[in-house]
A and B are shown apart, each in its own frame.
Chain A
Amino acid sequence: MDCTEIISGIKNKFPGFSALSVSEEFTDEVCLKVAPENFKEACFALHKTLPSPVMMLFAEDERRESNKFVVHCVFVSFKRSQWVRLSMDIPKDNPAFDSIAKNIYSANLFEREIWEMFGIEPKGNPDLRHLSLHDEVCPAGNYPLRKDFKKIENGNLSEYKFGRVEGDGIFEVPVGPVHAGIIGPGHFRFSVAGEPIINLELRLGFTHRGVEKLFEGKTCLEAIKIAERVSGDSSFAHSLAFANAAEKISNITISKQTAYLRAIFLELERMYNHVNDMGGIALDVSFSFASAYASIIKEAILQLNELLTASRYLKGVNTIGGVSSGTGIKKEIFFDSLNKIENDFCEFEKILSSSVSFMDRVDTTGVLRRKTAEDLGIVGFAGRASGIPTDLRKYFPGVYKEAKFKMILQESGDVLARLRLRIEEFKESVRLIREFTEKLNQNEEAVVNPQYKEGCALGYVEAWRGPVLYWLKTGSNGLIQRCKIVDPSFRNWQGLSYAVLGNIIPDFPLCNKSFDLSYSGNDL
């Protein structure tokens, strides 16, 4: 596949464009190297023509090898099933680049992250507050993802500046980081006028563990253990995206059997999370019967996971080039459990939809409009509930093509839309699992003995929450030099802060649960 179409697309919007070099190592990735002065315009042109939000924007430190930093910006072309990566070099003295967030809002958080982690300034970005390294704990001037960083150095601490709404009768309600429930930590600051929320300021980063730095210097087999622990509810998806990147670099082709098994596990993960969060929504309106019912279904799926893989959360299943367990699936037992789960789920759906007071609470609550969602670059089921057709399972299908995967869309963007979408997705997952299991060949064995190569590649997978992306770079010794992770939560948290506007605080838990975002996946 050649990329003349993509380049001519950029030239339509930006006539002066020329790429310094073009690389098409993989069929699903195009990499264009551009001069720093052209970077911003080229990004803007791609953003408009594809059209695509900024899927990733990240830096790497190459000062030791070639005296420079490199910044990459990744877009996605659904039409061509390709990822487009623009790169530019940045000199190591006074590193800075022109902010693209003024034109493409979905780049904003990424730019703040680059500034925080590398000390490369996105010139013109008005908001350079730290995300993960809290000012009260970590002094300014520490850039952990630089290669010469050893540990946090002491220095002056400061205080985070919250966005404020001022005026008569405005109250601020701070919540967290320790919440009333058994959930992750995050700080929410509501500004309310009377009952309606007029501003919600999110402050996250409490679970920052320096994950990306930990990947560096590890072998791929060691690192997959960390990938599984980035976000506990998507441990399979994260390990799969990581394995996908590592396999691309080393030119490992996975067997059909592995592809089916991975798809089965991915759908099982989707199922237990979807049902768990529907139960969570019910609990947040004190509909405890439905919530208990959902937790029984979730437990059944977790026990099924354990039966198949000896891990309730599908940890330790993925390896580079294959899966370590699940090849001995006994179809009868598996289908039997699956049927029970499906029947229970249909009952659960009836319980929810026959409760008038429940439906009344979720209908028209927490609306995220399509335009807002597009500007923020909202992905995954939250995006689809607002009418944005993005699903990697459709556009990068693999084995999903054989199973005739059907993408589910909703238009209204409220809690009900997200709920309905997830109900349909649950049913679709059950169907897909049946299809894939029928195709499994009991005799085929996946034997992998990988030879690790040097290079870089993008691994991606549509997890239950949205696309999980891993950009991986390995050195000649096979050790990881840089690993950039983007969990869908990173962009979707922004969606929540817009969806709650105009709603009352008692509806916040509903909105929050309907997006169901990961703290640890966001904070890294």
Chain B
Amino acid sequence: MINILKNRALKGIVTKHISLDKAKEIEITGSELSSLIKQKFNRSLNIREVDTGSCGACESEIIAANNPIYDLQRFGINFVASPRHADALMVTGPVSKNMLIALKKTYEAMPEPKFIISVGDCASDGGVFKDSYYVEGGVKKVLPVILSIPGCPPSPLTIIKSLLAFLKEK
């Protein structure tokens, strides 16, 4: 425990460790995001993530958005374990036929009101896999998508910024 405390004291706040410009950018987008979420979602936006055949890079970046450097959680966005707790569904991957039933069931399990965000090029139109015999070619062919975040994979900062731009409009 002493080691951990010592380490914590030595390390300081890690968000400072990345270059100043980038850190600033996150803070600005983040605080705006946080106040928007307070207004519109009564303090927190809960997201359930479903992988429908992605290569794993988009997942990795979504996880990175939650690491201590980007720390998405401090702005009121949580990733939850069950669709029952979720306001939004975040979908990655080109929607493999095998995942179609699971995706629909996850969506059905969510309480209203609910919406879907697709993350990555695969989820928006199938990406490099769109000609395959076994993919639907994007989430919007199956369920209503309200926001598509492009990128292969989108960086954590892109994910945060896209969420902000979307919430501002709505």
Interface residues of chain A, those whose CB is within 8 Å of chain B, are 132-134, 136-138, 144, 149-152, 177-178, 180-185, 205-211, 213-214, 225-226, 229-233, 235, 276, 289, 292-293, 295-296, 298-299, 302-303, 312-313, 315, 347, 350-351, 354, 518-520, 523
B133 x A232 contact (CB < 8 A): no
Interface residues of chain B, those whose CB is within 8 Å of chain A, are 3-4, 7-8, 14, 17-18, 49-64, 67-69, 79, 81-83, 93-94, 96-102, 106, 122, 127-129, 131-135, 152-153, 155
Contact of B4 among A207, A213, A351 (CB under 8 A): A351
A295 x B64 contact (CB < 8 A): yes
Contact of A232 among B3, B60, B94, B135 (CB under 8 A): B60
Question: Which residues of chain B come closer than 8 Å to A151, judged between CB atoms?
Answer: 133
Q: Given contacts A210-B134, A296-B69, are A520 and B56 in contact (CB under 8 A)?
A: yes
A185 x B102 contact (CB < 8 A): yes
B57 x A232 contact (CB < 8 A): yes
Question: Which residues of chain B come closer than 8 Å to A225, judged between CB atoms?
Answer: 128
A209 x B106 contact (CB < 8 A): no
Contact of B49 among A182, A213, A231 (CB under 8 A): A182
B132 x A213 contact (CB < 8 A): yes
The distance from the CB of B99 to the nearest CB of chain A, in whole angstroms, is 5
B69 x A299 contact (CB < 8 A): yes
Between A and B, 26 residue pairs with Cβ closer than 8 Å are A134-B97, A137-B98, A144-B134, A182-B49, A182-B62, A182-B79, A185-B51, A206-B98, A207-B51, A207-B54, A207-B98, A208-B53, A208-B97, A211-B129, A232-B60, A233-B60, A293-B7, A295-B67, A296-B68, A298-B67, A315-B152, A351-B3, A354-B3, A519-B51, A520-B55, A520-B56
Question: Which residues of chain A come closer than 8 Å to B83, judged between CB atoms?
Answer: 178
B56 x A519 contact (CB < 8 A): yes
Q: What are the 4 A-B residue pairs with the smallest beta carbon separation, nearest first?
A: A232-B57, A232-B55, A180-B81, A232-B56
Q: How far is the CA of A523 from the CA of B134 in the complex (A)?
A: 12
Contact of A144 among B59, B67, B133 (CB under 8 A): B133
A182 x B99 contact (CB < 8 A): no
The distance from the CB of A132 to the nearest CB of chain B, in whole angstroms, is 8
A137 x B97 contact (CB < 8 A): yes
Contact of A351 among B7, B82, B98, B101 (CB under 8 A): B7
Question: Which residues of chain B come closer than 8 Å to A208, judged between CB atoms?
Answer: 53, 96-98, 134
**What residue of chain A has the Cβ atom nearest to residue B48's Cβ?**
A178
Given contact pairs A206-B99, A523-B53, enumerate 9 new A-B contacts (beta carbons under 8 Å): A177-B102, A181-B81, A207-B53, A210-B135, A213-B133, A214-B131, A235-B57, A296-B67, A302-B64
Q: How far is the CA of A313 from the CA of B154 in the complex (A)?
A: 11
Question: Which residues of chain B come closer than 8 Å to A185, judged between CB atoms?
Answer: 50-52, 99, 102
**What residue of chain B has the Cβ atom nearest to residue A144's Cβ?**
B133
Question: Which residues of chain B come closer than 8 Å to A235, judged between CB atoms?
Answer: 55, 57
Question: Which residues of chain A come closer than 8 Å to B14, judged between CB atoms?
Answer: 296
The distance from the CB of B160 to the nearest CB of chain A, in whole angstroms, is 14
Question: Which residues of chain A come closer than 8 Å to B7, judged between CB atoms?
Answer: 293, 347, 351
> For chain A, what secondary structure do more than half of its interface residues adopt (helix, strand, loop), or is it mixed?
loop
Q: How far is the CA of A354 from the CA of B50 in the complex (A)?
A: 36
The distance from the CB of A218 to the nearest CB of chain B, in whole angstroms, is 10
The distance from the CB of B27 to the nearest CB of chain A, in whole angstroms, is 17
Question: Which residues of chain B come closer than 8 Å to A209, judged between CB atoms?
Answer: 53, 94, 96, 129, 132, 134-135
Q: How far is the CA of A164 from the CA of B141 in the complex (A)?
A: 37
Contact of B59 among A183, A312, A523 (CB under 8 A): A183
Q: How far is the CA of A23 from the CA of B132 in the complex (A)?
A: 34
Contact of B99 among A177, A181, A211 (CB under 8 A): A177
Question: Which residues of chain A come closer than 8 Å to B63, judged between CB atoms?
Answer: 182, 295
B155 x A312 contact (CB < 8 A): yes
B102 x A178 contact (CB < 8 A): yes
Q: How far is the CA of A415 from the CA of B54 in the complex (A)?
A: 27
A205 x B135 contact (CB < 8 A): no
Q: How far is the CA of A372 from the CA of B58 in the complex (A)?
A: 34
Q: How far is the CA of A439 from the CA of B47 in the complex (A)?
A: 47
B56 x A518 contact (CB < 8 A): yes
Question: Which residues of chain B come closer than 8 Å to A289, judged between CB atoms?
Answer: 4, 8
A207 x B132 contact (CB < 8 A): no
Question: Which residues of chain A come closer than 8 Å to B99, judged between CB atoms?
Answer: 177, 185, 206-207
**What residue of chain B has the Cβ atom nearest to residue A279's Cβ?**
B67
Contact of A178 among B50, B129, B152 (CB under 8 A): B50
Q: Given contacts A137-B100, A295-B64, are A180 and B54 in contact (CB under 8 A)?
A: no
Q: How far is the CA of A523 from the CA of B53 in the complex (A)?
A: 9
Contact of A134 among B8, B64, B93, B98 (CB under 8 A): B98
The distance from the CB of B118 to the nearest CB of chain A, in whole angstroms, is 15
The distance from the CB of B110 to the nearest CB of chain A, in whole angstroms, is 12
**What residue of chain B has the Cβ atom nearest to residue A312's Cβ?**
B155
Contact of A520 among B54, B64, B127, B134 (CB under 8 A): B54
Contact of A184 among B51, B64, B135, B155 (CB under 8 A): B51
Question: Which residues of chain B come closer than 8 Å to A351, judged between CB atoms?
Answer: 3-4, 7
A152 x B53 contact (CB < 8 A): no
Q: How far is the CA of A519 from the CA of B51 in the complex (A)?
A: 10
A207 x B131 contact (CB < 8 A): no
Question: Which residues of chain B come closer than 8 Å to A150, judged between CB atoms?
Answer: 133
The distance from the CB of A223 to the nearest CB of chain B, in whole angstroms, is 10
Q: Given contacts A137-B98, A289-B4, A315-B152, are A184 and B54 in contact (CB under 8 A)?
A: yes
Q: How far is the CA of A184 from the CA of B14 in the complex (A)?
A: 29
Q: How far is the CA of A182 from the CA of B101 in the complex (A)?
A: 19
A206 x B53 contact (CB < 8 A): yes
Q: How far is the CA of A382 from the CA of B26 in the complex (A)?
A: 39
Q: How far is the CA of A211 from the CA of B102 in the complex (A)?
A: 21
B55 x A230 contact (CB < 8 A): yes
Contact of A292 among B61, B67, B79 (CB under 8 A): B67
Q: How far is the CA of A208 from the CA of B51 in the complex (A)?
A: 12
Q: Given contacts A180-B81, A229-B127, A232-B58, are A206 and B102 in contact (CB under 8 A)?
A: yes
Contact of A206 among B60, B64, B96, B133 (CB under 8 A): B96
Question: Which residues of chain B come closer than 8 Å to A137, judged between CB atoms?
Answer: 97-98, 100-101
Contact of A210 among B8, B49, B132 (CB under 8 A): B132
B67 x A299 contact (CB < 8 A): yes
